[in-house]
Structure 1
Amino acid sequence: MSKDGGRALPPRPRKGSTALQVLKGIDLSGVFILITGANTGIGLETARALALHNAHVTLACRNMDAAERVKAAIKGEKADASVATIQLDLAELQSVERCASEYLASGKPLHVLILNAGVYNPQERTTKNGFETTFQVNHLAQFHLTNLLMERLLGSSPSRVVVVASTGHQLTTIPSDQNRWWDYFSPNETNMTNMNTAYTVSKLANVLFASELDRRMRDKGVRAFSVHPGVIITDITRNAAHCKALFTCCGCATISTEQGAATTVYCATAEGLELVGGQYFDQLVMKRPSRSARNEVNWTPFWLLSERMIDKYRSTRMSAV
């Protein structure tokens, strides 16, 4: 067993393991899990592995037809798999609220929330809620979802939140002037950044969010992790030929979706990781994130910025009624 500051960690699966290999011998009966963006790529393989090991899995997806196909495919492998679907469009914060309300109304506990969904190079650079699309989908909407589900996470504790980030977060640096943060994370039409910058900024947001979430909730039984799954060419990058080059700059080679899901599954289920909540994992290995991400001075102000953005959305919505 490896050590971290005197804390015993669980044995780490071999690098290159698939999600199913990580879960070998583990029975997740009685564990309720909600996964965003679970109808394709890493999210699909994450949901499949967890459901095949008896977890109760809810697929929160924008494309419900695709979600139902995934549900049917998993049940084709394991007839008694517990898989449900729920509508979630992260580009619309109203959809986030409907999703949370529907899940809460179901009465299900929530032991693991996996924030997997993401977008790269969206067709529309600004959402109808007024935020830069990459930032809203990859962070802000899932921040909102987490807070709406927090009481259920607390009531189901010990529980975990796993945020799928990216090593790409290392390619950007947060401004020292916090007055610039709003436009840095969610630029408007006049100062819109290129797609690579928007993506790396959103991934930095993921790591900051997981770190502060863990700090706020660890004493209440909720632990959070951020993960870099590895570079996988899935739907998020298929339409952007130069995206692979972005990660090549980080020294990354591509892996399969089954391998990519392994780190998420590990952080969601491994016994002993509750000792190291708030950490960043890169392909099953606990690593230090970028200087901006690990600087605790940034964590709380970024959380408060995200709250102000949600408050702005709410006030705008109320004024439109």
Structure 2
Amino acid sequence: MPTATAILDGQDLSGQYMLITGANQGIGFETARALALRGAHVTLACRSQDSAEQAMDAIRQEKKDAQLSYINLNLCSLNSVEQCAKEYLDLKMPLNVLILNAGTMLPTEGQTKDGFETTFQVNHLAQFHLTNLLTELMASSAPARVVVVSSSTHRFARLPSDSTKWWNAFSPAKRSDQGTWKAYGYSKMANVMFASELNRRMQIYGLQAISCHPGTIKTAIARNIPQHIRRLLCCFQIALISPEEGAATSVYCATTDITCHGGKYFAKCRVSKMASVCAKEDNARKFWSLSEEMLKAKPDCSQSPTTISLRNTSGGNDDH
């Protein structure tokens, strides 16, 4: 597997503006590092300012004039998401690439103060909201793209045939019958369907969206992989890869011509097959509507004008 920096060998990304969630550590940091070393202006959107400053200092040790900035983003709070979008818009910078990299896998159940299952809100709903709040800016910066970091674990989630049961499947009030691995799988399925439908809605604005699987990586999340899954990895001699190798697919998707591959799912720097339920356009449409419905359930959650206009391009009634 090539590294993220190797993917960009010889490229000049000067004049490209990129925002990366969760860019202070792991594959997010390696993604930010590789892009900044090639001249891109990279904004790190993450919860810890200290950690973000350490990450930026590390990059500047390799490239003194690296163009880097930081915006606070706590994905457990939809209000924080709105503040993050506002701060970026106030910078009056373009946005050519939005990389939704941040993710979590919690060993115990929990709910955010917004009332959603934490893994689901962090891995999908909050970043869905951030994207919608920044879509108008990306349209004015076109060509632009959104890269959604998902996982092969999206294949293990089972989408209920009755879409009225989707809310509880993706964001259950209690996770007692779901578990860590299942909650993570549902959030990663959400990523894939979101990218697919986002691409369909954004094409008329000159924007594209894709999802990707970075690989099984040596990060904090990997510590929460169940023991029986770890044993299977050992059995089949599947080694955990480094964060820099894991960042390669994100970097590839962010910088390579993907004109013919909008809405697709990538792994190992090439198009891969997504779960069949995610490939169904109707499912992606309904899931988008569900995500909007969830945001509306929080009374003080802003709805951007772009979200409303995009809804009108959906080609039909998305009620479920």
TM-score, structure 2 length as denominator?
Answer: 0.90
Q: How does 1:301-320 map to 2 (within 5 A)?
A: 301-314=286-299
Q: Could you tell me whether the CA contact under 8 Å between 1:164 and 1:206 is conserved in 2?
A: yes
CA distance in 1, matches of 2:145, 2:175: 38
C-alpha distance after superposition, 1:11-32 (max 9, x if no partner): xxxxx11111110010000000
Residues 42 and 257 of structure 1 are in contact (CA less than 8 Å); yes or no, is this contact kept in structure 2? yes
Distance (Å, rounded) in 2 between the aligned partners of 1:224 and 1:269: 12
In structure 1, list runs of 5 or more residues that go unmatched. Answer: 1-15
Matched, 1:210 2:200: no
Report what 2:59 is aligned to. 74
Gap runs ≥5 in structure 2: 303-320
Deviation at 1:239, TM superposition (A): 4.9
Tell me how far 1:113 sits from its aligned partner: 0.1
Q: Are 2:240 and 1:254 equivalent residues in the alignment?
A: yes
Q: Judging changes above 3 Å, is the alpha-carbon distance between structure 1 residues 24 and 244 closer, same or farther for their aligned structure 2 residues?
A: farther
Deviation of 1:283 (Å): 1.4
1:1-321 → structure 2 map (5 Å cutoff): 16-121=1-106, 125-189=110-174, 193-239=178-224, 242=227, 245=230, 248=233, 252-271=238-257, 273-314=258-299
Residues 1:247 and 1:231: Cα distance change in structure 2 (over 3 Å): farther
In the alignment, which residue of structure 1 is the partner of 2:318? none
Rounded to whole Å, the distance in 1 between the matches of 2:234 and 2:190 is 20
Identity of aligned residues (%): 52
Q: Are 2:19 and 2:43, in contact at CA under 8 Å, matched by a contact in 1?
A: yes
Question: Contact 1:122–1:133 (CA<8 Å) still a contact in 2?
Answer: no
Q: State how many pairs are aligned.
A: 301
- Separation in 2, partners of 1:310, 1:149: 16
Check 1:250–1:108 CA distance in 2 against 1; reply closer, same or farther (3 A cut): farther
Computed over aligned residues only, the root mean square deviation of the Cα atoms, in angstroms, reads 2.0
Aligned partner letter, 1:67: A
CA distance in 1, matches of 2:45, 2:232: 27
Measure the CA separation in 2 of the matches of 1:60 and 1:40: 11
Relative distance call for 1:67 and 1:193 in structure 2 (3 A) is same
1:243 Cα deviation from its structure 2 partner? 8.3
Q: Distance in 1 between matches of 2:160 and 2:246?
A: 31
Question: In the aligned structure 1, how far is the partner of 2:96 from the partner of 2:8?
Answer: 17
Judged with a 3 Å threshold, the aligned counterparts in structure 2 of structure 1 residues 250 and 277 are, in CA distance, closer, same or farther, namely farther
- TM-score w.r.t. length of structure 1: 0.89
The one-letter code of the counterpart of 1:98 is Q
Tell me by how many angstroms 1:313 deviates: 1.3
SS of aligned partner of 1:138: helix
Over 3 Å counting, the alpha-carbon distance change for 1:20 and 1:254 in structure 2 is: same
Q: Distance in 1 between matches of 2:230 and 2:241?
A: 15
